[in-house]
Chain A
Amino acid sequence: MADYEARTSSGARRPRPISPHLQIYRPMLTMVMSIVHRITGSALYFGMLLLAWWLIAAASGPNAYANVEWFMGSLIGQLILFGYTWALLHHMLGGIRHLVWDTLHGFDPADREWMTVATLVGSIGLTVALWVVGYLAMGGPR
Chain B
Amino acid sequence: MEHSIEYLEKQFQDRIDRGENIEAKDWMPEKYRKTHIRQISQHAHSEIVGMLPEGNWITRAPSLRRKVALLAKVQDEAGHGLYLYSAAETLGISRDELFHQLHTGKAKYSSIFNYPAVTWADMGAIGWLVDGAAIINQVMLTRTSYGPYARAMVRICKEESFHQRQGYEIMITLCNGTEEQKAMAQDALNRWWWPSLMMFGPTDAESTHTEQSMKWKIKRKTNDELRQQFIDITIPQAEFLGLTVPDPDLKWNEERGHYDFGEIDWTEFWQVVKGFGPCNKERLKARNKAWDNGAWVREAALAYSEKQSKESIRKAV
Q: Do A and B bind each other?
A: no
Q: Which A residues are within 8 Å of any B CB, using their own CB?
A: none
